[in-house]
Chains A and B, each alone.
Chain A
Amino acid sequence: MRAYISVGKLRFINGLQYRSAAFAGIATQFFWGFIIIMIYKAFFSQNDPLRMTSISLDQLVSYVWLQQAFITFIVLWFRDAEIFQLITTGNIAYELCRPCAIYEYWYVKLLATRLASALLRCFPILIAAFALPQPYRMENPPSFVSFALFAVTLCMGLLLLVSISMFIYISVFWTMSPVGSTLMIGAFGEFMAGLIIPVPLMPEWLQKIAYSLPFRWTADFPFRVYSGQIPAHDAAWGILVQLVWLVVLVTLGKMLMNKALRQVVVQGG
Protein backbone atom coordinates (compact mmCIF):
# COMPACT_ATOMS: atom_id res chain seq x y z
CA MET A 1 0.00 0.00 0.00
CA ARG A 2 2.79 2.34 0.97
CA ALA A 3 4.43 1.76 -2.39
CA TYR A 4 1.31 2.90 -4.21
CA ILE A 5 1.01 5.99 -2.03
CA SER A 6 4.64 6.89 -2.79
CA VAL A 7 4.15 6.45 -6.52
CA GLY A 8 1.07 8.61 -6.34
CA LYS A 9 2.88 11.25 -4.34
CA LEU A 10 5.83 11.41 -6.72
CA ARG A 11 3.49 11.59 -9.67
CA PHE A 12 1.44 14.30 -7.99
CA ILE A 13 4.52 16.42 -7.32
CA ASN A 14 5.65 15.79 -10.88
CA GLY A 15 2.27 16.87 -12.18
CA LEU A 16 2.40 20.19 -10.36
CA GLN A 17 5.37 21.14 -12.50
CA TYR A 18 3.25 21.65 -15.58
CA ARG A 19 2.09 25.14 -14.75
CA SER A 20 2.11 26.65 -18.22
CA ALA A 21 0.05 23.76 -19.54
CA ALA A 22 -2.46 24.42 -16.79
CA PHE A 23 -2.44 28.12 -17.56
CA ALA A 24 -3.17 27.54 -21.22
CA GLY A 25 -5.81 25.02 -20.21
CA ILE A 26 -7.55 27.49 -17.95
CA ALA A 27 -7.75 30.05 -20.72
CA THR A 28 -9.18 27.51 -23.15
CA GLN A 29 -11.71 26.16 -20.70
CA PHE A 30 -12.84 29.59 -19.72
CA PHE A 31 -13.41 30.56 -23.32
CA TRP A 32 -15.13 27.28 -24.04
CA GLY A 33 -17.41 27.60 -21.03
CA PHE A 34 -18.58 31.00 -22.23
CA ILE A 35 -19.41 29.81 -25.72
CA ILE A 36 -21.35 26.81 -24.47
CA ILE A 37 -23.37 28.90 -22.05
CA MET A 38 -24.17 31.42 -24.79
CA ILE A 39 -25.53 28.60 -26.91
CA TYR A 40 -27.78 27.33 -24.15
CA LYS A 41 -28.89 30.85 -23.32
CA ALA A 42 -30.05 31.29 -26.90
CA PHE A 43 -31.65 27.88 -26.86
CA PHE A 44 -33.61 28.48 -23.69
CA SER A 45 -34.75 31.94 -24.78
CA GLN A 46 -36.42 30.49 -27.88
CA ASN A 47 -38.14 27.56 -26.28
CA ASP A 48 -40.22 26.80 -23.30
CA PRO A 49 -37.51 24.80 -21.57
CA LEU A 50 -39.68 22.99 -19.06
CA ARG A 51 -41.68 21.45 -21.83
CA MET A 52 -38.54 19.84 -23.22
CA THR A 53 -36.27 19.14 -20.32
CA SER A 54 -36.10 18.95 -16.58
CA ILE A 55 -32.98 21.09 -16.26
CA SER A 56 -33.03 24.88 -15.84
CA LEU A 57 -30.59 27.34 -17.33
CA ASP A 58 -29.03 28.07 -13.91
CA GLN A 59 -28.45 24.39 -13.33
CA LEU A 60 -27.01 24.08 -16.78
CA VAL A 61 -24.61 26.96 -16.14
CA SER A 62 -23.26 25.20 -13.04
CA TYR A 63 -23.06 21.99 -15.06
CA VAL A 64 -20.92 23.69 -17.70
CA TRP A 65 -18.58 25.46 -15.28
CA LEU A 66 -18.04 22.29 -13.28
CA GLN A 67 -17.23 20.48 -16.49
CA GLN A 68 -14.63 23.10 -17.32
CA ALA A 69 -13.15 23.30 -13.82
CA PHE A 70 -12.84 19.55 -13.37
CA ILE A 71 -12.05 18.77 -16.96
CA THR A 72 -9.11 16.54 -16.06
CA PHE A 73 -11.41 14.46 -13.86
CA ILE A 74 -13.80 13.69 -16.65
CA VAL A 75 -12.17 13.58 -20.07
CA LEU A 76 -10.77 10.42 -21.56
CA TRP A 77 -8.38 12.14 -23.96
CA PHE A 78 -6.31 13.35 -21.01
CA ARG A 79 -3.80 10.59 -21.20
CA ASP A 80 -0.49 9.56 -19.81
CA ALA A 81 1.98 9.31 -22.69
CA GLU A 82 4.53 7.66 -20.43
CA ILE A 83 2.48 4.53 -19.94
CA PHE A 84 1.90 4.21 -23.68
CA GLN A 85 5.63 4.54 -24.16
CA LEU A 86 6.33 1.89 -21.54
CA ILE A 87 4.31 -0.57 -23.55
CA THR A 88 5.37 0.32 -27.08
CA THR A 89 9.09 0.68 -26.37
CA GLY A 90 9.31 -2.24 -24.01
CA ASN A 91 10.30 -0.22 -20.99
CA ILE A 92 7.54 -2.07 -19.22
CA ALA A 93 10.31 -4.58 -18.55
CA TYR A 94 11.34 -2.57 -15.53
CA GLU A 95 7.78 -2.22 -14.23
CA LEU A 96 7.44 -5.97 -14.39
CA CYS A 97 10.57 -6.49 -12.28
CA ARG A 98 8.94 -4.73 -9.37
CA PRO A 99 7.08 -6.51 -6.62
CA CYS A 100 3.92 -4.61 -7.53
CA ALA A 101 0.71 -5.40 -9.31
CA ILE A 102 0.83 -3.42 -12.55
CA TYR A 103 -2.87 -2.58 -12.59
CA GLU A 104 -2.78 -0.92 -9.19
CA TYR A 105 0.53 0.73 -9.96
CA TRP A 106 -0.75 2.38 -13.11
CA TYR A 107 -4.10 3.18 -11.58
CA VAL A 108 -2.39 5.23 -8.87
CA LYS A 109 -0.17 6.99 -11.40
CA LEU A 110 -3.14 8.00 -13.51
CA LEU A 111 -5.13 9.09 -10.50
CA ALA A 112 -2.29 11.27 -9.22
CA THR A 113 -1.73 12.92 -12.58
CA ARG A 114 -5.38 13.84 -12.87
CA LEU A 115 -5.51 15.12 -9.29
CA ALA A 116 -2.46 17.32 -9.73
CA SER A 117 -3.75 18.70 -12.97
CA ALA A 118 -7.20 19.43 -11.57
CA LEU A 119 -5.75 21.11 -8.52
CA LEU A 120 -3.90 23.56 -10.74
CA ARG A 121 -6.92 24.33 -12.88
CA CYS A 122 -10.09 24.15 -10.86
CA PHE A 123 -9.73 27.09 -8.47
CA PRO A 124 -9.15 29.93 -10.93
CA ILE A 125 -12.07 28.75 -13.04
CA LEU A 126 -14.40 28.29 -10.10
CA ILE A 127 -13.52 31.63 -8.52
CA ALA A 128 -14.12 33.43 -11.78
CA ALA A 129 -17.34 31.54 -12.44
CA PHE A 130 -18.76 32.58 -9.07
CA ALA A 131 -17.86 36.22 -9.72
CA LEU A 132 -19.36 36.54 -13.19
CA PRO A 133 -22.52 38.55 -13.86
CA GLN A 134 -25.79 36.79 -14.59
CA PRO A 135 -26.65 34.66 -16.46
CA TYR A 136 -23.10 33.36 -16.57
CA ARG A 137 -22.67 33.19 -12.83
CA MET A 138 -22.37 29.83 -11.17
CA GLU A 139 -24.80 29.40 -8.28
CA ASN A 140 -24.13 27.87 -4.88
CA PRO A 141 -25.56 24.41 -4.35
CA PRO A 142 -29.08 24.57 -2.86
CA SER A 143 -28.06 22.92 0.40
CA PHE A 144 -25.05 21.64 2.24
CA VAL A 145 -26.28 18.10 1.69
CA SER A 146 -26.19 18.64 -2.07
CA PHE A 147 -22.67 19.95 -1.80
CA ALA A 148 -21.47 17.04 0.33
CA LEU A 149 -23.08 14.54 -2.01
CA PHE A 150 -21.50 16.35 -4.94
CA ALA A 151 -18.05 16.03 -3.36
CA VAL A 152 -18.52 12.30 -2.81
CA THR A 153 -19.97 11.61 -6.25
CA LEU A 154 -17.24 13.64 -7.93
CA CYS A 155 -14.51 11.60 -6.22
CA MET A 156 -16.30 8.35 -7.02
CA GLY A 157 -16.66 9.58 -10.57
CA LEU A 158 -12.92 10.17 -10.78
CA LEU A 159 -12.18 6.66 -9.54
CA LEU A 160 -14.63 5.33 -12.08
CA LEU A 161 -13.13 7.36 -14.91
CA VAL A 162 -9.62 6.12 -14.19
CA SER A 163 -10.90 2.55 -14.26
CA ILE A 164 -12.45 3.26 -17.67
CA SER A 165 -9.28 4.89 -18.98
CA MET A 166 -7.29 1.82 -17.90
CA PHE A 167 -8.95 -0.07 -20.75
CA ILE A 168 -7.38 2.34 -23.22
CA TYR A 169 -3.95 1.62 -21.79
CA ILE A 170 -4.50 -2.13 -21.66
CA SER A 171 -5.68 -2.16 -25.28
CA VAL A 172 -2.29 -0.82 -26.38
CA PHE A 173 -0.76 -4.20 -25.51
CA TRP A 174 -2.60 -5.49 -28.57
CA THR A 175 -2.83 -2.47 -30.84
CA MET A 176 0.64 -1.00 -30.12
CA SER A 177 -0.75 2.45 -30.79
CA PRO A 178 -2.86 4.56 -28.46
CA VAL A 179 -4.46 6.60 -31.25
CA GLY A 180 -7.31 4.31 -32.18
CA SER A 181 -8.45 3.32 -28.71
CA THR A 182 -8.24 6.84 -27.35
CA LEU A 183 -10.26 8.14 -30.26
CA MET A 184 -12.92 5.44 -30.12
CA ILE A 185 -13.36 5.02 -26.40
CA GLY A 186 -12.78 8.75 -25.93
CA ALA A 187 -15.32 10.01 -28.44
CA PHE A 188 -17.98 7.51 -27.48
CA GLY A 189 -17.38 7.73 -23.74
CA GLU A 190 -17.29 11.49 -23.60
CA PHE A 191 -20.48 11.79 -25.60
CA MET A 192 -22.23 9.31 -23.34
CA ALA A 193 -20.89 11.14 -20.29
CA GLY A 194 -22.71 14.28 -21.39
CA LEU A 195 -19.61 16.28 -22.18
CA ILE A 196 -20.82 17.28 -25.64
CA ILE A 197 -24.52 17.59 -24.90
CA PRO A 198 -25.64 17.40 -21.28
CA VAL A 199 -27.54 14.18 -20.80
CA PRO A 200 -30.84 15.89 -19.76
CA LEU A 201 -30.94 17.64 -23.15
CA MET A 202 -30.55 14.44 -25.13
CA PRO A 203 -33.58 12.85 -26.78
CA GLU A 204 -35.21 10.31 -24.57
CA TRP A 205 -34.04 7.22 -26.40
CA LEU A 206 -30.46 8.45 -26.20
CA GLN A 207 -30.82 9.22 -22.51
CA LYS A 208 -31.84 5.62 -21.97
CA ILE A 209 -28.64 4.44 -23.59
CA ALA A 210 -26.54 6.91 -21.61
CA TYR A 211 -28.14 5.83 -18.35
CA SER A 212 -27.33 2.20 -18.99
CA LEU A 213 -23.61 2.87 -19.54
CA PRO A 214 -20.96 3.71 -16.95
CA PHE A 215 -19.75 6.95 -18.56
CA ARG A 216 -22.42 9.39 -17.33
CA TRP A 217 -21.67 8.42 -13.71
CA THR A 218 -18.27 10.09 -14.05
CA ALA A 219 -19.45 13.59 -15.05
CA ASP A 220 -23.13 14.10 -15.72
CA PHE A 221 -24.21 12.60 -12.42
CA PRO A 222 -22.03 14.59 -9.97
CA PHE A 223 -22.68 17.86 -11.79
CA ARG A 224 -26.43 17.46 -11.55
CA VAL A 225 -26.16 16.44 -7.92
CA TYR A 226 -24.37 19.76 -7.30
CA SER A 227 -27.24 21.89 -8.50
CA GLY A 228 -29.84 19.73 -6.82
CA GLN A 229 -31.28 18.74 -10.20
CA ILE A 230 -30.81 15.21 -8.95
CA PRO A 231 -32.33 15.25 -5.46
CA ALA A 232 -30.34 14.07 -2.44
CA HIS A 233 -32.26 10.84 -2.09
CA ASP A 234 -31.54 9.79 -5.68
CA ALA A 235 -27.94 10.92 -5.35
CA ALA A 236 -27.37 8.59 -2.41
CA TRP A 237 -28.61 5.65 -4.47
CA GLY A 238 -26.46 6.83 -7.32
CA ILE A 239 -23.35 6.48 -5.20
CA LEU A 240 -24.21 2.83 -4.83
CA VAL A 241 -24.51 2.48 -8.59
CA GLN A 242 -21.13 4.18 -9.00
CA LEU A 243 -19.65 1.72 -6.55
CA VAL A 244 -21.07 -1.26 -8.42
CA TRP A 245 -19.72 0.04 -11.74
CA LEU A 246 -16.34 0.65 -10.13
CA VAL A 247 -16.12 -2.91 -8.84
CA VAL A 248 -17.22 -4.34 -12.18
CA LEU A 249 -14.80 -2.24 -14.25
CA VAL A 250 -11.79 -2.76 -11.98
CA THR A 251 -12.37 -6.50 -11.89
CA LEU A 252 -12.71 -6.64 -15.65
CA GLY A 253 -9.66 -4.41 -16.14
CA LYS A 254 -7.53 -6.59 -13.91
CA MET A 255 -8.59 -9.71 -15.75
CA LEU A 256 -7.70 -8.16 -19.09
CA MET A 257 -4.41 -6.85 -17.74
CA ASN A 258 -3.45 -10.32 -16.53
CA LYS A 259 -4.29 -11.72 -19.92
CA ALA A 260 -2.18 -9.03 -21.60
CA LEU A 261 0.78 -9.64 -19.32
CA ARG A 262 0.73 -13.37 -19.91
CA GLN A 263 1.28 -12.83 -23.59
CA VAL A 264 3.29 -9.66 -23.36
CA VAL A 265 6.06 -9.28 -25.84
CA VAL A 266 8.61 -6.89 -24.45
CA GLN A 267 9.42 -4.80 -27.49
CA GLY A 268 13.00 -4.11 -28.46
CA GLY A 269 16.20 -5.95 -27.60
Chain B
Amino acid sequence: MIQLNEISKSFKIAKRSAGLRQAMKALFVREYSHVNALEGISFRITPGEIVGYIGPNGAGKSTTIKVMSGIMVPDSGACSIMGYTPWKDRVAYVRNIGVVFGQRSQLWWDVPVIDSFELLKDIYKISGTEYKANLELLTETLDLGALLHTPVRQLSLGQRMRCEIAASLLHGPRILFLDEPTIGLDAVSKLAVRQFIKDINKEKGVTVILTTHDMNDIEALADRILMIGKGRLLYDGGLEKFRGQFGEKTMDEAVVQMYREYQI
Protein backbone atom coordinates (compact mmCIF):
# COMPACT_ATOMS: atom_id res chain seq x y z
CA MET B 1 0.00 0.00 0.00
CA ILE B 2 2.78 2.41 0.94
CA GLN B 3 6.19 1.99 -0.53
CA LEU B 4 9.15 4.30 -0.14
CA ASN B 5 12.36 3.70 -1.97
CA GLU B 6 15.56 5.60 -1.21
CA ILE B 7 13.83 8.89 -0.49
CA SER B 8 16.27 11.74 0.11
CA LYS B 9 15.69 15.36 0.88
CA SER B 10 18.08 18.11 1.88
CA PHE B 11 17.47 21.69 2.90
CA LYS B 12 19.55 24.74 2.28
CA ILE B 13 19.87 26.74 5.45
CA ALA B 14 21.09 30.32 5.56
CA LYS B 15 23.65 30.66 8.31
CA ARG B 16 25.40 33.41 10.12
CA SER B 17 27.04 33.85 13.47
CA ALA B 18 25.72 36.18 16.10
CA GLY B 19 26.56 39.84 16.19
CA LEU B 20 26.21 43.00 14.16
CA ARG B 21 29.36 42.52 12.14
CA GLN B 22 28.23 39.11 10.98
CA ALA B 23 24.77 40.46 10.20
CA MET B 24 26.32 43.18 8.02
CA LYS B 25 28.48 40.65 6.29
CA ALA B 26 25.46 38.47 5.60
CA LEU B 27 23.98 41.32 3.57
CA PHE B 28 26.61 40.71 0.94
CA VAL B 29 27.78 37.17 1.36
CA ARG B 30 25.24 34.57 2.30
CA GLU B 31 26.56 31.36 3.66
CA TYR B 32 24.48 28.29 3.32
CA SER B 33 24.81 24.88 4.77
CA HIS B 34 23.04 21.82 3.55
CA VAL B 35 21.20 19.66 5.99
CA ASN B 36 20.31 16.20 4.84
CA ALA B 37 16.92 15.69 6.39
CA LEU B 38 16.41 12.33 4.74
CA GLU B 39 19.15 10.11 3.36
CA GLY B 40 17.70 7.18 1.52
CA ILE B 41 14.66 6.13 3.49
CA SER B 42 13.00 2.92 2.33
CA PHE B 43 10.15 0.95 3.82
CA ARG B 44 6.81 -0.52 2.96
CA ILE B 45 3.60 -0.59 4.90
CA THR B 46 0.69 -2.95 4.29
CA PRO B 47 -2.99 -2.05 4.64
CA GLY B 48 -4.44 -2.05 8.13
CA GLU B 49 -1.16 -1.54 9.98
CA ILE B 50 -0.56 0.98 12.72
CA VAL B 51 3.03 2.09 12.43
CA GLY B 52 4.78 4.22 15.03
CA TYR B 53 7.39 6.47 13.52
CA ILE B 54 9.87 7.62 16.13
CA GLY B 55 13.15 9.45 16.37
CA PRO B 56 14.65 12.45 18.14
CA ASN B 57 13.76 16.02 17.23
CA GLY B 58 15.07 16.93 13.82
CA ALA B 59 15.48 13.33 12.74
CA GLY B 60 13.27 13.73 9.69
CA LYS B 61 9.96 12.37 10.89
CA SER B 62 7.87 15.34 9.85
CA THR B 63 9.73 15.61 6.58
CA THR B 64 8.86 12.01 5.78
CA ILE B 65 5.21 12.68 6.58
CA LYS B 66 5.26 15.76 4.38
CA VAL B 67 6.75 13.79 1.52
CA MET B 68 4.22 10.99 1.96
CA SER B 69 1.30 13.41 2.06
CA GLY B 70 2.32 15.11 -1.16
CA ILE B 71 3.28 18.43 0.40
CA MET B 72 6.98 18.27 -0.25
CA VAL B 73 8.94 17.08 -3.21
CA PRO B 74 11.96 14.92 -2.30
CA ASP B 75 15.29 15.41 -4.05
CA SER B 76 15.47 11.80 -5.13
CA GLY B 77 13.89 8.43 -4.58
CA ALA B 78 10.56 6.91 -5.39
CA CYS B 79 7.38 6.73 -3.42
CA SER B 80 4.21 4.93 -4.35
CA ILE B 81 1.14 5.10 -2.16
CA MET B 82 -2.01 3.37 -3.36
CA GLY B 83 -0.54 3.58 -6.84
CA TYR B 84 0.01 7.33 -6.70
CA THR B 85 3.20 9.32 -6.52
CA PRO B 86 2.07 11.81 -3.89
CA TRP B 87 3.77 14.96 -5.16
CA LYS B 88 2.95 14.28 -8.79
CA ASP B 89 -0.72 13.34 -8.50
CA ARG B 90 -1.30 15.53 -5.47
CA VAL B 91 -4.91 16.55 -6.06
CA ALA B 92 -6.13 13.04 -6.98
CA TYR B 93 -4.05 11.41 -4.28
CA VAL B 94 -4.96 13.52 -1.25
CA ARG B 95 -8.59 12.49 -1.49
CA ASN B 96 -7.52 9.13 -0.10
CA ILE B 97 -5.57 10.31 2.88
CA GLY B 98 -6.19 12.19 6.07
CA VAL B 99 -3.46 14.19 7.77
CA VAL B 100 -3.29 15.65 11.26
CA PHE B 101 -0.43 17.97 12.15
CA GLY B 102 -0.50 18.20 15.93
CA GLN B 103 1.16 21.60 15.91
CA ARG B 104 -1.02 23.23 13.29
CA SER B 105 -4.67 23.91 12.83
CA GLN B 106 -6.86 23.25 9.84
CA LEU B 107 -10.04 24.62 11.37
CA TRP B 108 -11.18 28.16 10.65
CA TRP B 109 -10.32 30.13 13.73
CA ASP B 110 -13.28 32.50 14.00
CA VAL B 111 -16.19 30.30 13.02
CA PRO B 112 -17.89 27.35 14.72
CA VAL B 113 -16.30 23.97 14.11
CA ILE B 114 -19.27 22.76 12.11
CA ASP B 115 -18.66 25.47 9.48
CA SER B 116 -15.19 24.12 8.85
CA PHE B 117 -16.63 20.62 8.58
CA GLU B 118 -19.27 21.74 6.07
CA LEU B 119 -16.56 23.37 4.02
CA LEU B 120 -14.52 20.17 4.03
CA LYS B 121 -17.60 18.33 2.88
CA ASP B 122 -17.68 20.50 -0.23
CA ILE B 123 -13.93 20.47 -0.74
CA TYR B 124 -13.78 16.67 -0.68
CA LYS B 125 -17.13 16.34 -2.47
CA ILE B 126 -18.46 14.05 0.24
CA SER B 127 -21.99 12.89 -0.47
CA GLY B 128 -24.72 13.98 1.92
CA THR B 129 -25.37 10.54 3.34
CA GLU B 130 -21.71 9.66 3.75
CA TYR B 131 -21.03 12.97 5.43
CA LYS B 132 -23.89 12.50 7.84
CA ALA B 133 -22.86 8.97 8.73
CA ASN B 134 -19.22 9.93 9.22
CA LEU B 135 -20.06 13.00 11.22
CA GLU B 136 -22.38 11.05 13.47
CA LEU B 137 -19.79 8.38 14.09
CA LEU B 138 -17.04 10.91 14.76
CA THR B 139 -19.24 13.02 16.99
CA GLU B 140 -20.07 10.00 19.06
CA THR B 141 -16.64 8.43 19.34
CA LEU B 142 -14.73 11.67 19.85
CA ASP B 143 -17.46 13.19 22.00
CA LEU B 144 -17.81 16.32 19.90
CA GLY B 145 -21.50 16.98 20.49
CA ALA B 146 -21.02 20.07 22.62
CA LEU B 147 -18.09 21.41 20.59
CA LEU B 148 -19.48 21.54 17.09
CA HIS B 149 -21.19 24.88 17.47
CA THR B 150 -18.41 26.60 19.40
CA PRO B 151 -15.99 28.92 17.59
CA VAL B 152 -12.60 27.26 17.32
CA ARG B 153 -10.79 30.06 19.16
CA GLN B 154 -12.76 29.20 22.30
CA LEU B 155 -11.85 25.51 22.39
CA SER B 156 -9.19 24.09 24.67
CA LEU B 157 -6.25 22.34 23.02
CA GLY B 158 -7.62 18.89 23.78
CA GLN B 159 -11.05 19.77 22.44
CA ARG B 160 -9.53 21.31 19.36
CA MET B 161 -7.34 18.30 18.69
CA ARG B 162 -10.36 16.02 18.80
CA CYS B 163 -12.03 18.27 16.25
CA GLU B 164 -8.87 18.33 14.13
CA ILE B 165 -8.79 14.55 14.02
CA ALA B 166 -12.45 14.42 13.12
CA ALA B 167 -11.85 16.96 10.34
CA SER B 168 -9.18 14.73 8.85
CA LEU B 169 -11.50 11.73 8.77
CA LEU B 170 -14.72 13.21 7.42
CA HIS B 171 -13.99 12.04 3.90
CA GLY B 172 -13.30 8.47 5.02
CA PRO B 173 -9.61 8.24 4.05
CA ARG B 174 -7.86 4.88 3.69
CA ILE B 175 -4.66 6.17 5.24
CA LEU B 176 -4.25 8.47 8.20
CA PHE B 177 -1.03 10.34 8.88
CA LEU B 178 -0.75 11.65 12.41
CA ASP B 179 2.13 13.99 13.14
CA GLU B 180 2.35 14.28 16.92
CA PRO B 181 -1.39 14.09 17.54
CA THR B 182 -1.08 13.91 21.32
CA ILE B 183 1.32 16.82 21.78
CA GLY B 184 0.27 18.97 24.72
CA LEU B 185 -2.83 16.97 25.57
CA ASP B 186 -3.94 16.07 29.07
CA ALA B 187 -4.29 12.44 30.15
CA VAL B 188 -8.00 12.21 29.42
CA SER B 189 -7.71 13.60 25.92
CA LYS B 190 -4.67 11.44 25.22
CA LEU B 191 -6.51 8.27 26.17
CA ALA B 192 -9.54 9.32 24.15
CA VAL B 193 -7.43 10.01 21.08
CA ARG B 194 -5.58 6.70 21.41
CA GLN B 195 -8.76 4.73 21.85
CA PHE B 196 -10.22 6.41 18.83
CA ILE B 197 -7.21 5.63 16.64
CA LYS B 198 -7.48 1.98 17.67
CA ASP B 199 -11.16 1.92 16.88
CA ILE B 200 -11.00 3.33 13.39
CA ASN B 201 -8.09 1.06 12.61
CA LYS B 202 -10.02 -2.00 13.72
CA GLU B 203 -13.45 -1.12 12.47
CA LYS B 204 -12.65 0.66 9.24
CA GLY B 205 -9.26 -0.83 8.51
CA VAL B 206 -7.64 2.58 8.19
CA THR B 207 -3.87 2.37 7.92
CA VAL B 208 -2.27 4.68 10.47
CA ILE B 209 1.20 6.19 10.46
CA LEU B 210 1.90 8.05 13.63
CA THR B 211 4.85 10.14 14.76
CA THR B 212 5.21 10.94 18.42
CA HIS B 213 7.64 11.51 21.23
CA ASP B 214 5.33 9.91 23.74
CA MET B 215 6.35 6.27 24.03
CA ASN B 216 3.08 5.49 25.74
CA ASP B 217 1.35 6.33 22.45
CA ILE B 218 3.58 3.84 20.73
CA GLU B 219 3.03 1.13 23.33
CA ALA B 220 -0.71 1.61 23.28
CA LEU B 221 -1.09 1.70 19.53
CA ALA B 222 1.71 0.51 17.32
CA ASP B 223 2.34 -3.05 16.24
CA ARG B 224 5.41 -1.98 14.40
CA ILE B 225 7.89 0.81 14.84
CA LEU B 226 10.15 2.63 12.45
CA MET B 227 12.99 4.47 14.08
CA ILE B 228 14.78 7.22 12.24
CA GLY B 229 17.83 9.24 13.19
CA LYS B 230 19.85 11.78 11.21
CA GLY B 231 17.80 11.00 8.15
CA ARG B 232 18.46 7.26 8.16
CA LEU B 233 16.19 4.42 9.06
CA LEU B 234 17.69 2.66 12.09
CA TYR B 235 15.10 0.15 13.10
CA ASP B 236 12.12 -1.39 11.39
CA GLY B 237 10.31 -4.15 13.16
CA GLY B 238 7.81 -5.32 15.73
CA LEU B 239 7.33 -3.50 18.98
CA GLU B 240 7.79 -6.69 21.00
CA LYS B 241 11.11 -7.47 19.41
CA PHE B 242 12.29 -3.93 20.07
CA ARG B 243 11.30 -4.19 23.71
CA GLY B 244 12.86 -7.65 23.98
CA GLN B 245 16.29 -6.24 23.22
CA PHE B 246 16.19 -4.08 26.27
CA GLY B 247 14.85 -6.40 28.94
CA GLU B 248 13.32 -4.63 31.88
CA LYS B 249 13.83 -1.12 30.67
CA THR B 250 10.91 1.20 30.02
CA MET B 251 10.21 2.27 26.47
CA ASP B 252 11.71 5.72 27.08
CA GLU B 253 14.92 4.24 28.44
CA ALA B 254 15.10 1.77 25.58
CA VAL B 255 14.74 4.54 23.05
CA VAL B 256 17.37 6.70 24.74
CA GLN B 257 19.79 3.77 24.73
CA MET B 258 19.04 3.16 21.09
CA TYR B 259 19.71 6.83 20.26
CA ARG B 260 22.99 6.57 22.15
CA GLU B 261 24.07 3.46 20.33
CA TYR B 262 23.59 5.16 17.02
CA GLN B 263 25.06 8.39 18.33
CA ILE B 264 22.12 10.51 17.34
Residues of chain A touching chain B, judged by Cβ–Cβ distance below 8 Å, are: 2-3, 5-7, 10, 13-14, 17, 89-91, 93-94, 96-101, 262-266, 268-269
CA distance A89 to B105 in the complex (A): 11
* Shortest distance from the beta carbon of A159 to any chain B beta carbon, whole Å: 22
> Are B115 and A98 in contact, with the CB atoms below 8 A?
no
Pick the contact of A266: B71, B106, B119 (CB < 8 A): B71
CA distance A7 to B71 in the complex (A): 21
CA distance A265 to B11 in the complex (A): 8
> Are A93 and B101 in contact, with the CB atoms below 8 A?
yes
> Are B104 and A98 in contact, with the CB atoms below 8 A?
no
Q: Is B108 an interface residue (CB 8 A)?
A: yes
Q: Is B51 an interface residue (CB 8 A)?
A: no
Number of interface residues of B (CB under 8 A): 32
* Shortest distance from the beta carbon of B38 to any chain A beta carbon, whole Å: 13
Besides A10-B108, A263-B73, 14 other CB < 8 A contacts?
A: A2-B122, A7-B123, A14-B110, A89-B104, A91-B104, A94-B105, A96-B69, A96-B94, A97-B71, A98-B94, A98-B124, A99-B125, A268-B103, A269-B103
Q: Is B26 an interface residue (CB 8 A)?
A: no
Complex interface: chain B residues within 8 A of A264 (CB): 71-73
Q: Is B92 an interface residue (CB 8 A)?
A: yes
* Shortest distance from the beta carbon of B104 to any chain A beta carbon, whole Å: 5
Complex interface: chain A residues within 8 A of B153 (CB): none
* Shortest distance from the beta carbon of A137 to any chain B beta carbon, whole Å: 39
Pick the contact of A96: B71, B105, B111 (CB < 8 A): B71
Q: Is B245 an interface residue (CB 8 A)?
A: no
The contact sample of 11 A-B pairs, CB cut-off 8 A, is A6-B118, A7-B123, A91-B105, A93-B66, A96-B70, A97-B94, A98-B123, A99-B94, A99-B125, A266-B71, A269-B62
Interface bits B99-138 vs A (CB < 8 Å: 1, else 0): 1010111101011000100110011110000000000000
> Are B125 and A3 in contact, with the CB atoms below 8 A?
yes
**Minimum CB distance partner of B168 in chain A:** A97
**Minimum CB distance partner of A7 in chain B:** B119
* Shortest distance from the beta carbon of B98 to any chain A beta carbon, whole Å: 8
CA distance A96 to B177 in the complex (A): 14
> Are B71 and A99 in contact, with the CB atoms below 8 A?
no
CA distance A268 to B101 in the complex (A): 11
Name the residue in A5, A96, A264 with the highest tally of chain B Cβ atoms < 10 Å from its Cβ: A96
> Are B124 and A99 in contact, with the CB atoms below 8 A?
yes
Interface bits B27-71 vs A (CB < 8 Å: 1, else 0): 000000000000000000000000000000110001000100111
* Shortest distance from the beta carbon of A262 to any chain B beta carbon, whole Å: 6
**Minimum CB distance partner of B72 in chain A:** A266
Pick the contact of A93: B95, B104, B125 (CB < 8 A): B104
CA distance A17 to B92 in the complex (A): 35
Complex interface: chain A residues within 8 A of B99 (CB): 93-94, 97
Pick the contact of B119: A6, A17, A97, A265 (CB < 8 A): A6
Q: Is B91 an interface residue (CB 8 A)?
A: yes
CA distance A59 to B61 in the complex (A): 63
> Are A14 and B90 in contact, with the CB atoms below 8 A?
no
CA distance A3 to B125 in the complex (A): 8
Complex interface: chain B residues within 8 A of A99 (CB): 91-92, 94-95, 123-125
> Are B73 and A262 in contact, with the CB atoms below 8 A?
yes
Complex interface: chain B residues within 8 A of A268 (CB): 103
**Minimum CB distance partner of A9 in chain B:** B119
Complex interface: chain A residues within 8 A of B97 (CB): 97
> Are A6 and B71 in contact, with the CB atoms below 8 A?
no
> Are B66 and A266 in contact, with the CB atoms below 8 A?
yes
Complex interface: chain B residues within 8 A of A101 (CB): 91
Complex interface: chain B residues within 8 A of A89 (CB): 104
* Shortest distance from the beta carbon of B40 to any chain A beta carbon, whole Å: 20
CA distance A6 to B120 in the complex (A): 9
Complex interface: chain A residues within 8 A of B57 (CB): 269
**Minimum CB distance partner of A89 in chain B:** B104
Complex interface: chain B residues within 8 A of A97 (CB): 69-71, 94, 97, 99
